[in-house]
Amino acid sequence: MNRSGAATFQHHQGLHLGNRLLRRREVELKTGKSRAAIYAEIRAGTFPEPVPIGRNSVAWLEAEVDQWISDRLAERNRASAMRGARTSRLIQEIQP
């Protein structure tokens, strides 16, 4: 910790630490996903792995959850852009 009592940023194996740890309930609220859905996506490899913080406790790095959300938004935007391009082509094809 620094003099003000705030934890300083650290790096571990290329991972930027200093992110806030989110407990499962916070992850559920932030993502809108249920506990079961979160763990199903972890098993499928499509959601960030939790970090053990105690004997029976885990948490998620907020930055990883935020990145997961950002990735979902990017997927939506790509799909929307593709739909828009297809619609434009269809309109051009049917116009005289």
Domain range spanning residue 74?
Answer: 10-94
Domain assignment present for residue 2? The answer is no
CA–CA distance from 69 to each of 13, 30, 39, 74, 89 (Å)? Answer: 24, 9, 16, 9, 31
Query: How many domains does the chain contain in total?
Result: 1
pLDDT, mean of residues 70-75: 95
Domain assignment present for residue 49? The answer is yes
Domain assignment present for residue 43? The answer is yes
pTM of the predicted structure, to 2 decimals: 0.68
Residue 2: is its pLDDT beyond 60? no
Q: How far is CA 4 from the centre of its chain?
A: 30
pLDDT-derived band of residue 39, with 50, 70 and 90 as boundaries?
very high
pLDDT, mean of residues 46-55: 97
Domain assignment present for residue 4? The answer is no
| Alpha carbons 60 and 48: distance in angstroms, whole number | 7
